[in-house]
Every structure is written in structure tokens, then in C-alpha cells.
Structure 1
Amino acid sequence: MTADGSFLDTIKFIVREALLNGGRRYYLALIGLLIVALYGMYLWIFVQHAPIFLGKEEGGLILTDLSDSVPWGIYIAFFVFWVGVAAAGIVFGIAAYVFGDKEFKKVAVLGEVQAVAAIITVLLLITVDIGRPFRAMILMPQLPNLRSMLDWDFIVLTGYLTLNLIGMLVTVHYYRQDKPLPKKFIVPFITIAAPFAIGIHTVTAFISQALTARPIWNSPLLAPRYVATAFASGPAILLLALYLAERYMKGFKVDFSVYKKTLYVIVGSLVVGLYFTLSEVHEIFWYTTEPMKKAQAQVLFLGYHLPYLAKMMWLWIGLGIAAVILGILPRVHNSKKGIILVSVITIVAVVAEKTMTIIIPAFVPGTLGEVHPYYPTALEIGITAGVHAIGILIYLLLARPALKAVMTHYFKGSGAHH
């Protein structure tokens, strides 16, 4: 199959395949996501910014349950989760280009697509958390301040986003012309992208870990725990995306070895993540001499003041163990549907582990021992849902042309139905 060779034509190809050549199911999915996204944007712009846009006296972050005592809530909670999902997008790339797995080479571009969609979701969650976007402009003149972990986070996030946009564009550019990726691109790309993938989640953890007034975060295990569970949930989402692509894209097939080898990564990461949780429980409840740390842990594990946090934490432990047990059963790991079941359980488990349970206990009790229980309001939940809809929409719009290019190169065909 021949195609025009310029990158401009590749961009046109991406736009055409993303927007113009879909079927009924594809467009219904796009419309549904767009409605949720627009509703979330409406809540954020016109309800949360009511004093500006509607002339009302009440609005802004006061409409949320965020406060001086609990300044980080559901927005930052899901920020942490999606940074991990973005970091784990590199798993397919490492398997393909470092270990030379031919089957992973066919789907490595989906990891880049996932990273792009996840980082955009992350940046949008930061935007809604700061309240007014103008506040970000106030911070910009301070860049770069290499003594600030926030600046490092900004650098690694935007750097990783740029890397994956370039990686996706180059991959689609060559594959749509039925050409292999050149080694002069692959080697520097994976050499730079792999450390960035670990770096984005490590730096995110360092931001919390450095806050000495939040003792539950003052653990050297925080950063490796972030990375471990990210390498469970990120590949699980990739497998779910591949499974849906196989169902709804005619002619697109993935070798079973991709599912099985990725499951090994998921199960191994869950085991490490659960072990880190056990290690922290041992330190907190067995010999810590920090009373505030123990008080915050009681909120997290025993449900003091916020029962939903304990339920989420024990959900992570229960589902994490269940996913590991299921993953090692031959009847499960030798079945594609069984692997997808483990993937879905893993996603739910890590959402429970790496969202509210990571963030909220550091603020309840607060630095002076005060207790302000945090419950996200309907406004916060609606805005968060809208941001997620935008992220999934971007994932869908980019995944389709990327996989169509893969089909052109590896399957010599690009027919699709939705």
C-alpha cells in the first residue's frame, strides 16, 4: 500500500481516521463522551466560576469540600492515578524495542497513545484543582526553579507528553506507508522515554514525600509504591483497550502471547505493591513513634472520621490478592477472557489504592491535630467525570488511526467496523 510521505499527510491521516471514517458505534461513543465532557466543562466554568460568569456572589472553590485543612481532594487523587497510567504506557515499548518481541512491536504504539491521553487528563486535573487558570500564569515566570519538586514535575510531565506525541506521530507516519520504524529513531526514543516514564511518577511521589508536616507520606516506600501499582493498572488498561480493539476493529488481531506476558507484569507488580503496603502497615502499627502518623493511619485503615477511606483501602488489599490468585491459575491465565477479568479487577483495586486513600489521610488529622473530614461534592465528582471523559475521548480518537496504521503495516489491510 502506498501513501504520501510527508508528516503533514500523516496528520491529515490521523484526523481523517479519527473523525471521518468511523461507524455508528464509534460515533455514539464519541457523542456520549463529548456530552459528559461538555457537562463537566459547564460545571467548572459556569458553576465553579459563578462570580465571574454569572455575576453571583457565591462560587469558586468554596463550592467544593476543599479547604485550608484539606487543600487536595478528588482532583489531585485522580491526578496521581493517571500519572501512573501514563508511566506504565512504556511497558509495551520496552517489551517491543528493548527485548525485541515481535508481537509487542505491533501494539507498542498503543502505549504511546495511552500516555498522551493520560498526561492530558493529568494536566486538566491540575487546571481544575488550582481553581482559576490565571493562577498557572502567575507560577510560570518562576520556571525553572530546580529546587522545587513542582517544577521538576512540570518538566517531566510536559517532556513525557512531548516524547509520546512524537513517538506516536513517527510510528503512524512509517506504519501507514508500510515501512518499519528506523533504528535511529527507536534507540534514542526508548533510551529517553523509559527513564522519563519512571521519573514522572517518582517525582510526583517526591512532592508528597518532601512535605514533612504530612507524616503518613514521609516514607521511603512512597515512590516505589507509586511505581509498582502503576505498572499493574497501566498495562491492565492497555490490555482492556486491545481487547476492545479486537472486538470492534475488523481484521485487527493480537497474539495471545501479548496478553499472557502482560499479565505476568500485572501480577508481579501487584505482588510488589501489596508487599509495600504490608511493610508500611508493619511500620505504622508496630513501632512508629510519630503519633500524628498513627492517627492518620487509623483514618486510612480503621475508618476513623472517614469510613469510606478504610473501605477503599481494604478493597485494594482484597481485590489485589484476588487478582494475584486468579492470575496464577492456569484456567485464568490461559484464557483471554480470564486475563481481561484480572485486568478489570486490577484497575478497580489500584483506583482504590492510588486515589483518595493516597491523598486524604495526609490531611485528616491536619498539622495541628484538627479534623475536617473530606467528602467530594457532586460538583467535584461531575467536574472529575468531565475531565475523564475528555481523556477517554482523546484515547479513542488517537487509538483508531494508530491501530489502522498498524494494520496497514502488519496485516496489509485497514478495514474497520464499529
Structure 2
Amino acid sequence: MKETSKALHAFLTLLLIIAAWGGYNFVLIMFVKGVGITGSSDLVPWGVFIVGFVFCVGTSAGASIIGLLISGFGRDDYKPLGTRAILVGILSLMSAVLFLLADVGNPFRTMLLPAVIRNPTSALVYTSMTYVLFGALLLGELYYAVKITLSGGVGSDMEEKIAKVLAILALLFALMVVHAPHGALFAFVSAREMWNTPLLPPHFVVVALASGTAVMILVAIITSKINKSELVGLETLSHMGQLLALFIIITLFLDFFDFVVMIYAGKPAGLEIWHLLTGRFAPLFIINTAGLFVAMLILLFKRGRTIKGLSMASSLTVIAIIAYRFNLIIVAQTAPLFPGMGEIYYMPTVPEMAVVVGIIAWALFLYIVLIKVLPLEETVPEPEIGPDIDHRYQITVPTFRKPG
């Protein structure tokens, strides 16, 4: 136990050092040297900060599917992941806001929205308000989840009803009110061939479900390995794998027709984007498409939905979606808007990547600390009392942990 504690403390210290390095560069970009030390420019104003922002908002929304499965479909086998999914949602949303602040250049300007700068026709004002509402919804869900756990896993009728409504509402709100409009933000830009499509909002929704499900599979597997005991059973993980396969299939379907329309439409802008995807950005394009396809093949067959197979498929999905977000945001901006404009380049700088890694490290640090502090429902085997005990079932009891 001491060795585990020492290793955990060392890891937390490392995360704090990385987060501090990222924070230093964050301050450097925000208040000292400005966004000029990033790879962004007037031609490519959105860089890796927006890539991280969109990915984290999607993961935050997609992770809410766990609450829907528990409260909406009565899947009690998912309960050990319930509070963890809420924490992933909150911390992913926090990370998304930090990425957005980093991209703005001066966080105080963002604080003026929507209190001072109010334009009812601006989709950006609308989406900025949804983050606050979604964050409040997740915090309310966390409050009742913790309260019920402290009550021994069974709350009052009112508490149970509120927790159920919040869990179901969280996913619907996240997908329909928060994340689908993100796709619309891009789709509204008629000058960008890769963005201007009505399929982008539903595409964002499906990709969010895929990334959130993949992250929660990894959370379940990694937690079980660290604790050396099952958090959820293999059947539950296999069911999550089936859901992930469905989301990947829909994503690939939408991707295929996006590219087919882009090529066969014969528009110069669309052909230029296809040229970039299969040329300069070919490695990321292959990671995106091939990664999702391989993950789908692993998950479609029961033999692939083992711990090893699920770990590989989920990791491939996360990496592929990050590549997709990068291609969607960066490639669309590097395609010239008019003939003779010349090639446009974007390359993230060291300060930019330091901020990205720092935000991720900070979110991971908070997650580890919170799961040590908050009461969580853990799945533990029933004690062996005699030969007639049925070992197929497990019981769920609240586990209380002290920090560290």
C-alpha cells in the first residue's frame, strides 16, 4: 500500500509540474507576449486550442450517456461508473472552457459574454450561455449522486426522482442544446467548403457519443487494473463496446458521404480540401479513418470485446477523433479562399502545446483527487461463505476514501 501511495504521490506531483508549466505559458500568451507566440494567424485564427475545446465539449457531452443508461434504461450494472462519468463530464467541460479562454487571448474579454456584450443574433453568445447551464446541470447531478451514496446508496423518493431526471436531462441537454449547435457554428460559415453542410450538427453529436463512450470504457478498465478488482463486469464493458461500435459505424457513414459529395461536386474549394487531406495532412487523415475502421472491426465481434480488445479499440477511437477534430478545424482553414492566394500553413508552437498538455494534466490531477475524496459506489465481490454461494452476482456498496 505504501508503494502505491508513493507512486500516486509522485504521479500527482508530476501532473502538477506539467500543469504549472502549462499555466506559465498560458499567462505568457494571455498577458505578456500575446497570441503572436502561437502558430495562429489572421489566415488560421483557430488552432489546437479550438481542437482541444471541441474535443473536450464532445467528451463531456458523450460521457453523460452513462447516466442515461442507469436512470433511463435501468442498467444498474453501470452504477459504479455513474459518479465517475459525472466527474469526467465536469472536468472535460472545465478543460473546454480553459481551451476557449486560451484561444481568446485575454480571458477578461470572455467574461463580458453574455453580461455586457449582448448580440441576440450571435450563435457564439448562445453557446457561451449553454456552457454555464450545462455545468450547473452536471454539478446538480453530482450533488445528488454524492448525497444518495452517503445515504447508503438509497435516497428519499424525491432525491431519487431528481437524480433520475437530472441524469436523463444531462445527455439530452448536452447533445441537443450544447454540442449540436457547435456543429452549427461551423456549418454557418458558408465560405468554408468543409464546414458548410447541414450534416455537421448531427455529425458532432455522434462523434461526441463515440468519444465519451470510449473515454468511459478506458476509465473503467484503467480503474479496475489500478484497484486490482472489477469496477464493472465484462458483460457491461462488452455492452459499452457494442454502443461504441454503433456510434463509429454512423460516424464512418457520415464521413464517407461527406467525402463523396466533396469529390463529385467538383467545386474547386472541395477538391483543394481533398488534395490537402490526401497530401500534406494524409497521416492525420489515415489515423482518423483507419483508426475508426479498425476500432469498429475489433468491436463488432464478441472475440474482440475482451479487456485487451476494448482497451485497444477505445484508445484508437480517442486518437482517431482527435485527428478528425484537427482535420476538420485546421484543414478547412488552410484551404485558400480564392485563386492565387497561395498555400497556407499552420504549425503549433511549443507554448501552445505546453498549454494543451498543462490543461490535460490539471484535469487529470483533479479527477484523481476527487475520486479519492468523494464517496463512490464500487462493485465488490460477495464474500465466500460456502460452496452454495452464487458467484455470478456482485453487490454495490458505497466506498469512502480519505485523500491520498
Q: TM-score, normalization: structure 1?
A: 0.85
Query: SS of the counterpart of 1:100?
Result: coil
**2:383 is equivalent to residue 397 of structure 1:** no
Q: Which amino acid aligns with 2:323?
A: A
Residue number in structure 1 paired with 2:27: 45
Distance 2:242 2:17 in 1: 37
Greater relative contact order, per chain length (Cα 8 Å cut-off, separation 6+): 1
Q: Which amino acid aligns with 1:44?
A: F
Q: 2:165 aligns with which of 162, 185, 188?
A: 188
Distance 1:403 1:28, change over 3 A: farther
Q: Which amino acid aligns with 2:160?
A: K
Residue number in structure 1 paired with 2:282: 310
Residue number in structure 2 paired with 1:294: 271
Distance 1:78 1:415, change over 3 A: closer
Instruction: Measure how far apart 1:252 and its partner are.
Output: 5.9
Q: 1:337 aligns with which of 305, 308, 314?
A: 308
Query: SS of the counterpart of 1:376?
Result: coil
Worse-matched range after superposition: 62-71 or 194-203 = 194-203
The CA deviation string for residues 290-315 of structure 1, in whole angstroms up to 9 with x for no partner, is: 3223323322x222xxx2x2211121
Q: 1:64 aligns with which of 24, 29, 38?
A: 38
**2:178 is equivalent to residue 235 of structure 1:** no
Q: 1:360 aligns with which of 330, 333, 337?
A: 330
Instruction: Measure how far apart 1:242 and its partner are.
Output: 1.4
The CA deviation string for residues 142-172 of structure 1, in whole angstroms up to 9 with x for no partner, is: 4554422112211222211111112112211
Distance 1:139 1:132, change over 3 A: same
Distance 1:47 1:415, change over 3 A: closer
Instruction: Measure how far apart 1:190 and its partner are.
Output: 3.1
Residue number in structure 2 paired with 1:225: 203
Worse-matched range after superposition: 124-133 or 371-380 = 371-380
> 2:83, 2:376 within 8 Å by CA — same for their partners in 1?
no
**2:103 is equivalent to residue 109 of structure 1:** no
Distance 2:301 2:168 in 1: 35
Instruction: Measure how far apart 1:337 and its partner are.
Output: 2.3
Distance 1:412 1:302 in 2: 52
Query: SS of the counterpart of 2:222?
Result: helix
Aligned ranges for residues 398-413 of structure 1 at < 5 Å? 398-402=370-374, 404-406=376-378, 410-411=396-397, 413=399
> 2:80, 2:377 within 8 Å by CA — same for their partners in 1?
no
Q: Which amino acid aligns with 1:293?
A: G
Residue number in structure 2 paired with 1:322: 294
> 1:44, 1:128 within 8 Å by CA — same for their partners in 2?
yes
Query: SS of the counterpart of 1:217?
Result: coil
Q: 2:356 aligns with which of 373, 384, 400?
A: 384
Distance 1:40 1:412, change over 3 A: closer
Distance 1:47 1:112, change over 3 A: closer
Q: TM-score, normalization: structure 2?
A: 0.88
Q: Which amino acid aligns with 1:81?
A: F
Query: SS of the counterpart of 1:410?
Result: strand
Identity %: 22
Instruction: Measure how far apart 1:175 and its partner are.
Output: 0.3
> 1:251, 1:414 within 8 Å by CA — same for their partners in 2?
no
Distance 1:359 1:211 in 2: 12
Distance 2:330 2:399 in 1: 50
Residue number in structure 2 paired with 1:13: none
Unaligned runs of 5+ in 2: 381-394
Unaligned runs of 5+ in 1: 1-21, 51-58
Distance 1:102 1:143 in 2: 45
Query: SS of the counterpart of 2:356?
Result: helix
Worse-matched range after superposition: 159-168 or 177-186 = 177-186
Residue number in structure 1 paired with 2:98: 124
**2:178 is equivalent to residue 200 of structure 1:** yes
Distance 1:337 1:416, change over 3 A: farther
The CA deviation string for residues 51-99 of structure 1, in whole angstroms up to 9 with x for no partner, is: xxxxxxxx21111121111000010011111111001111111111100
The CA deviation string for residues 239-272 of structure 1, in whole angstroms up to 9 with x for no partner, is: 1111222222366631222211110111111111
Distance 2:52 2:119 in 1: 26
> 1:407, 1:414 within 8 Å by CA — same for their partners in 2?
no
Query: SS of the counterpart of 1:216?
Result: coil
> 1:38, 1:386 within 8 Å by CA — same for their partners in 2?
yes
Q: 1:169 aligns with which of 119, 139, 143?
A: 143
Q: How many residues end up aligned between the 2 structures?
A: 381
Distance 2:180 2:193 in 1: 18
Distance 1:262 1:143, change over 3 A: farther
Q: Which amino acid aligns with 1:100?
A: G
Distance 1:256 1:368 in 2: 54
> 2:46, 2:329 within 8 Å by CA — same for their partners in 1?
yes
